Structure 1
Amino acid sequence: MKLLFTSIYTLLLTITCTVTALAQTSKITGTLNDGAAKPVEFATVSLLRAADSSIVKGALSNEKGNYAFDNVAKGSYVIKATSVGYNTGKSAAFTVDGTGAVTVQVITMAEAGKTLNTVNVNATKPLIERKVDRTVMNVENSVLAAGNTALEILERAPGVTIDKDDNISLRGKQGVTIMINDKLTYLSQAQLATLLRSTDGTTIASIEIITNPSAKYDAAGNSGIINIKLKKNKQKGTNGSLTAGYARGHANRDNMSLNLNHKNGPLNVFGTFSRGDNNRYRELLIDRVVANPDTPIFNQLTKMPTFNYYNNFNIGADLETSSKNTVGVVASGYSNGGRDINDNHTERRSGTGILRSYLNTSSLMNQRYKNLAFNLNDRFKIDTLGQELGADLDYSKFSNNNIAEYNTYYFTPDGKPDPAADKKPLLLRNQTPSSIEIYSGKVDYTKPLSKTWKLESGLKFSSVKTDNDLRAQKFNGTDFENDAGRTNRFIYTEQIAAAYTNISHQFKGGSIQVGLRAENTESDGNLLGVQQIKRSYLNFFPSLFINRSLGKKHDLGFTYSRRIDRPNYDDLNPFIYYLDPFTFNQGNAFLKPQYTNNFELNYTYNKTIDVSLGYSLTTDVITELILTKGNFTFQTNDNLRTQKSYNVNIFSPFQITKWWSGNINFNGFYLGFKSNSTTGNVDNGRVAFTAKTTQTFTVGKFKAELVGDYRSSLVYGIYYLFPRYAVDAGLSRSFANKKLNVKVALNDVFNTMRNDLNSNALGNNFSIRQKSDTRVFRVNVTYNFGSTTIKARQHRSGAEAEKGRVNSGN
């Protein structure tokens, strides 16, 4: 806590001293070439103090070998540049006087002969990096990433928690928008969890956490954006990597991925394929009290083994049609599926605990999920001053088909079949084919108005259609027949037209950016023959970002943005899905979007220790509720009135010795919920915190990691969530001149990770105890092959906001 108070005190002190602490600054630019007039691309460029060669700032050269440093204070400096395959380049000493921009003489970096294969590159990115507008988790350097899925890795990211139903929260708040390679996923929460669970961790390069996005991003996501960046080979020639892994928890798991890249002249072709079997196990215990004088107590135990597989692919090509224009095409998709086998035992007891009857429900669910997506993109550099035009066209289709059988048998306390007429065996069968089609197009334009002013603007249109067809059947004694009371078809369409503008200005010691995004939404939810709800609404989403450098070691920032979260497609379907005769799920066609105003004040000390203070207010907050009616308990979603969130987040990397480094992330927050609705009154709030630390040890050729994760008890909506904690450990070693890498890891070393909760609100009185298959041993082997030279283009496309609301299976 001393660090917290010290940082907050320093933050307040620097605010009061802003006017007197500003220093005159200048911009430094320069160019690197190889002596033959060819630019040196993506070299590491360091700005050093001439007096003692201490590092002031760092940057990368672009495709033309150009680099730049903004907001450099008065003084004498030297530029140093390094790149694999080139000798180190260094400039003569020069002076910055704060009166204007400084252009450094061209630095020549001669090629380092033919000895590239003997060069050892030991520098690696830290696991967690704090940047100006986001936190980056560099997954591809992590021992713990090997063999884990994207969902398991995400759970280890700073400020991220995942609950028993795979709902993702950031700094205590749900409503996170998930993007993959800068593209929205358009999936429901359950479908998104399935997709992340079927994404091999070895295909991930990094995870970016953006708590307050600018107007350039879609306005969805009240707690921010998590962007998962997949690996893309950075070398020319033909190269790639092959990874295979095995894991053992409750059951066997395996994974395999192949990553290929070919770059020759203006053409770059790339592709990734991954497959695996992700078998898991979970036990769920529910104790509840209901308003029934005969059997008010229900004890329910469910054993839930799942046997899932996944096959994912991503292939594409970039073609430089000229020095100013690059055209790209990407095709991606998956074929996932599996079986869920649930064995449910429910006991009905009197108020004194005497067993009155019990029932067994066994269910078998066979699931198939398929997706095919295409992206066509173009990037045109209008001039050499930074004016650029980009366009993306996206199409995605998801096809899901689930077949489920539910067999329920009733028994008397002595284990005999219950003779009552209403307790005959209940045999049900559901078939739920569904499809989702997404069309999206966007255009982005960037124009520097001067050396210090820049304009960004763009347009986007997306169209989504979902078709869910529930075909329910009931056994009549001789055959299955249609169950009209449970059969339904729900069709939902949504069109969103958006436009945005950002204007940014760089000034001495800081920058400011003002943005505005407008989104017009037209939606139509139609439960055929029963209910149809249409909506049309136009919203504006302003954003503001201010950054100020207060001396050499102090940086201050303020951000504000307004966000929206639209209901997931499945949550809008008002029909009932039965899990057993006493438990069901019901959608809510009247769900409204929720709106959030986010404020954040950020302070960084010495470019390392980061402290942020945040406040957000969400209205019409979409919240999961579990309600009780007589003997029946059902899950639904409703709009509570408000959610208030206060948080303080502290991130600090550390270096104890040359071989021992790591980071600590602490997030303290308060969540408060209030509502006066038809479901009842809610007034809940509680202070909570999460703490994570990562320790990295490098001894000789071995690299080890140790991760600790703790989340205190907290209140979310009507739920009280118990504390949870876990420790992960991993070890890796490289062989054959770093072409072969072996990693072993153990997740949840002490098998402590649980998801337990209680609820005593809105007439509820129940507890849930849940233990999943979290202690898993993993071993992964990766082999890298092919050439190792220059970097390929990275592309960001435009159809990811809508995909995040769909189900992908597995």
Structure 2
Amino acid sequence: MPYILRYLLSLLWVCTLFSSQAQKTNHIKGQTVGEDKQAIPYVSILLYRVKDGTLASTAASDSTGNFRFTNLKAGTYFIKVKSLTHQDTFSPHFRLEEHFDEYDLGKILLLQNNAYLAEVVVERKKQFIEQQQDKLVFNIENSTLADGNNGLELLSKIPGVAVDESGSLSIKGKSGATVMINGKITYLSADQLANLLRSTSSMDINKIEVMSNPNAKQDAAGSAGIINIVLKKGLKQGFNGSVSANAGAGRGAHLGGSLNLNYRTEKINVFGIYNQYFQNLEYYNSLTRYFYTDRGSDPDSYSQQENTIQPKLRSNNFRVGMDYSINSKQTIGFLINGGFGKYPKYEPTTNSLRNFNTDNLISASTTVTEGKERWRDMLYNFNYNLKLNDKGHELKLDLDFVDHYSKMDQQLNTAYHNVGPSTSLANSSRIGDIPSDNQVYVAKLDYTLPLPKEYKLEAGWKSSDVRTENDLHYDTLQNDQYVPDLGTSNHFIYKETIHAGYVNLSKSWHKFSTQLGIRGEYTRTRSHQITLNEQFERSYFKLFPAAFLTYTANDNHKVQTSYSYRVQRPSFWDLNPFRVYTDPFSYAEGNSNLNPAYEHSFELAYTYASKYVLTLNYAQRSNVVNGILGRDPLNPYITFERPENIGSFKNYGISFIAPTQLTSWWSATHFANYYRNEYELPQEDELIIRKGNTLSLNSQNSFKLPEGWSIELGGNYVSGLTVGISHIKSYGQVYSGIQKNLLNKKATLKLVVNDIFRTNNRRYETISPTIRLIGRSNPDSRTAILSFSYRFGGSQNATAQRATGSEDIKSRL
């Protein structure tokens, strides 16, 4: 790809040009360290003028204790360092001369304040929810509820996020959210992503970032926004780590454990993480289908289906990597992130078909479905970071290769009984071989240039190349022999190439700050239906603008408005027209004719006292992609689900976040969201309007008890949800946890109980011209988990993450 190389070289040349012409300004730097010579992160640094004692500027030390003041005038100054855990410290007076570029204060020694140490540990704990300019951050790591959950269960507890049975996610009522892990798209189908999240322990998650209006630096994919799951990575000096184990039960046994090792010096950081997850689950589902010839009259017939799903999740995940500082300006890193597991399912199902008017039995059957699913997921990353100066002028490069393989061996055996004398149905059997093989190559370059007068320029490029292949085979039993079912087997290859570039310009002045950005993406797709010898190719270019404007009146009042234009590309799985049978009477299939959906999204937020946030949002989407229901043309009692561009969508909403400190021992964070979804669905000669209002509530409460004990109590409630042609009725759950710090706070013992009252069930209704479907799902959500974790090596704990360039694609495989 020589043109990409030319682009990179040109960008480097422009970077150098900007750097050489940037004005020189005075700045001060230094580092805060403790009595053990280790860095003290996240302390306040105040810069005062000696002449009149006024405050000139403020800063905070970063994760390595370093801090900086920039754009200073000549004069005599001193600094004051404030920290809850250490005594206030003052520097000697020093003078900055005209045109003097840099003044290095060196290492500033902070003495520990033992009188407040016990209090500080609690006070420095991050709030569960933090509002940042372009995202909501949910700090999972220190929450009692983080233990005893997998990633999918954890997301269902995040305010404003909804998870359906297939693993698809929505944000504030908008479907089509993109999932990233450490800043990388996952490039997986909804089912594959659900398995990945089920196999990710909440103990391995640091925080979850929800971006309903991402800036232009982020991929345009994900019309509802982006959910970024940030995993833990140690920053302690020397050799350190943690080990944990958990055990419990729902309807079956739950076991898990993890090992986290880290070795860090000034030049090198080596880390490795391994976790294993074991779950025996059991779900109950009930489904009634009404079949219509004329939608304006009563149904002709209906079927009642009951089934039990008994999956057994076995997963292993690991991350190993190294960061090496070549010098003070250059760092390289390597990362291997992998996982493998299996998800076998045993699923007995009963189905009865009856005449609606007479209630006479037409047919009855019992089906046993066995699925043996297994997967392997590998990511290889190389990254390079060049700091062109100490003012934030830097260049970052990421190269990724993702290799994902999954396979489902499926068998459906159906026995018919209690059939009338005029009807004879033979027993049937179907076996399926359903593989998915995906490779992804990603190159990403990000450039940041601070400019004079509080301007900052960000620019970058990203290229991705995806290949996914599915060679599905079905065999059916005929005359006691399995023969190929050529009508449902299919071999499909899909390729997608995206080249994207972005530019962000931000500026702060007086009480205002703004960020304007635009992202351009060229997309080329090629699909090959080998079975039918059909090929399709499509290419298009789109611009995606984003804008943010913030006005800070004072410390108590801040207003922010934002806009973004985004795209929801069909998942690779949805574009594949092959069938996957869930039982003998229903199947799902893809649609190679799907078009992308585009969305305009607006938000207006008001923040009071830096913690209470009121947000208004509006979104309008065209070419909405949603599943529709239909009847098989060869057998009208078999239903199918297929994604289609069903029409347009509008979303109006208001949300409120209120963190509270009710007493010295009781803190809480509350979230309320009220929104309205409206769909316009053209069908034949009429326009169908589907609309509904939703109230979503979430509360997290933390109680600090004596002698190292603490309790957390939380819950969420959703009044109902309209999504396309479906309506989901109200659901919610209450969960609680208790923990005790042991061994001088190096160990923690926790007990967590999820869905205490077993109310997290799903009741739903789906309506199409010829089918009405009413269902109920009872998941294995009430669990009790006991966990123990032990941390060793070092006394200060911090976490960091390294984002790579490919997270945005994996959620679509």
TM-score, normalization by structure 2 = 0.88
CA contact (8 A) 2:234 2:800 kept: no
Q: Deviations over 1:270-313 (max 9, x none)?
A: 01101111222111111111137997010111111111100000
Distance 1:350 1:29, change over 3 A: farther
* Counterpart position of 1:121: 121
Q: Deviations over 1:19-68 (max 9, x none)?
A: xxxxxxxx9976444599989552321669999x99x9884336472145
Alignment partner, residue 213 of structure 1? 214
Number of the residue aligned with 1:556: 559
* Equivalences for residues 429-440 of structure 1 within 5 A: 429-440=431-442
> 1:309 pairs with 303, 309, 314, which one?
314
Pick aligned residue for 2:702 from 683, 696, 699? 696
Residue from 760, 765, 772 that aligns with 2:779: 772
1:664 to 665, 670, 674: 670
- 2: CA distance between counterparts of 1:64 and 1:740? 26
> 1:487 Cα deviation (Å)?
1.2
The residue identity in structure 2 corresponding to 1:705 is E
**Alignment CA distance shift 1:656-1:107 (3 Å):** farther
Q: Of 535, 540, 544, which residue of structure 1 is paired with 2:538?
A: 535
C-alpha distance 77-337 of structure 1, shift in aligned 2 (>3 A) = same
2: distance between equivalents of 1:69 and 1:382?
16
Partner of 2:286: 285
Structure 2 CA distance, aligned partners of 1:329 and 1:679?
Answer: 58
1:711 to 714, 718, 728: 718
Provide the C-alpha distance between the structure 1 equivalents of 2:506 and 2:581, rounded to a whole number of angstroms.
53
C-alpha change, 1:265 and 1:472, in structure 2 (3 Å) is same
* Among candidates 454, 457, 467, match of residue 455 of structure 1: 457
Letter in 1 for 2:526: D
Q: Which stretch of the first structure deviates more once superposed, 153-162 or 127-136? A: 127-136
Counterpart residue number, 2:586: 583
Question: What is the 5 A alignment of 1:381-420?
Answer: 381-412=387-418
Query: What amino acid is aligned across from residue 519 of structure 2 in structure 1?
Result: R
**Structure 1 gaps, min length 5:** 1-26, 95-100
Residue in 1 aligned with 2:11?
none
Matched, 1:254 2:255: yes
- Check the 8 A contact 1:59/1:69 in 2, yes or no: no
1:801 match: secondary structure: helix
Structure 1 distance, partners of 2:81, 2:117, is: 23
Task: Give the aligned partner of residue 465 of structure 1.
Answer: 467
Task: State the partner residue of 1:322.
Answer: 327
Instruction: Give the CA RMSD over aligned residues.
Output: 3.3
Q: Does 2:617 correspond to 1:614?
A: yes
Distance 1:526 1:678, change over 3 A: farther
- Equivalent residue for 1:187? 188
Distance 2:286 2:87 in 1: 64
Kindly tell me the number of residue pairs found equivalent between the two proteins: 765
Q: Could you tell me how far 1:80 is from its partner in structure 2?
A: 3.5
Matched, 1:345 2:350: yes
- Match for residue 751 of structure 1? 758
Unaligned residue ranges in structure 2 (runs of 5+): 1-25, 95-100
Equivalent residue number for residue 9 of structure 1: none
Query: What residue in structure 2 maps to residue 132 of structure 1?
Result: 133
Contact in 1 for aligned 2:42/2:65 (Cα 8 Å): no
- The superposition leaves residues 380-403 of structure 1 with CA deviations (integer Å, 9 ceiling, x where unpaired) of 001122210110000011111110
Q: Give the Cα–Cα distance (whole angstroms) in 2 for the partners of residues 674 and 190 of structure 1.
A: 28
Contact kept in structure 2, 1:154 and 1:160, CA below 8 Å: yes
Find the aligned partners of 2:224 and 2:607 in 1 and give their Cα distance. Answer: 21
Question: What SS is found at the alignment partner of 1:360?
Answer: strand
Q: In structure 2, do the counterparts of structure 1 residues 107 and 261 end up closer, same or farther at CA, with 3 Å as the change threshold? A: closer
The whole-number CA distance in structure 2 between the counterparts of 1:647 and 1:77 is 49
Partner of 1:446: 448
Q: How far apart are residue 258 of structure 1 and its match?
A: 0.7
Q: Deviations over 1:622-645 (max 9, x none)?
A: 112223453222111111221101
Match of 1:648 among 642, 649, 654: 654
What displacement does 1:488 show?
A: 0.8
Q: Per the alignment, do residues 402 and 721 of structure 1 end up closer, same or farther by CA in structure 2, a change over 3 Å counting?
A: same
Q: Are residues 381 and 597 of structure 1, via their aligned partners in 2, closer, same or farther at CA, if it must alter by over 3 Å?
A: same
Determine if the alignment matches structure 1 residue 740 to structure 2 residue 747.
Answer: yes
2:144, 2:737 within 8 Å by CA — same for their partners in 1?
A: yes
| Residue of structure 2 equivalent to 1:356 | 362
8 Å CA contact 2:561–2:604 kept in 1: the answer is yes
User: Aligned runs of 1:138-157 on 2, under 5 Å?
Assistant: 138-157=139-158
Q: Which amino acid aligns with 1:574?
A: P
Distance 2:792 2:691 in 1: 54
Cα distance in 1 for partners of 2:399, 2:84 equals 36
* Aligned partners of 1:198 and 1:278 also within 8 Å: no
Tell me if the contact between 2:337 and 2:380 (Cα under 8 Å) persists in the aligned partners: yes
Residues 272/116 of structure 1: CA separation in 2 closer, same or farther (3 Å cut): farther
Q: Any conservation in 1 of the 2:145–2:712 contact (CA below 8 Å)?
A: yes
Cα offsets for 1:752-776 (capped at 9, x unmatched) = 1111111234333220111111111
Return closer, same or farther for 1:197/1:683 CA change in 2, 3 Å cut-off: same
Q: Which amino acid aligns with 1:372?
A: M
After alignment, is 361-370 or 789-798 more displaced?
789-798
User: Would you say 1:639 and 2:645 are equivalent positions?
Assistant: yes
The Cα offsets for residues 207-234 of structure 1, whole Å up to 9 and x where unpaired, read as 1111111110100111111111101112
State the partner residue of 1:266: 267
1:373 is matched with which residue?
Answer: 379
CA distance 1:173–1:613, change in 2 (3 Å): same
Overall identity of the aligned pairs, in %: 30
Task: Tell me the secondary structure at the aligned position of residue 712 of structure 1.
Answer: strand
1:97 — aligned with what? Answer: none
Aligned match for 2:767, one of 760, 767, 777: 760
Q: For residue 579 of structure 1, what is the amino acid of its counterpart?
A: T
Distance 1:645 1:779, change over 3 A: same
CA distance in structure 2 between the partners assigned to 1:43 and 1:508 by the alignment: 25
* Contact 2:369–2:583, Cα closer than 8 Å, also in 1: no
What CA deviation, in whole Å up to 9, does each residue of 1:131-164 have, x standing for no partner?
Answer: 2322111111111111200111111112111123
Moved more, 527-536 or 184-193: 527-536
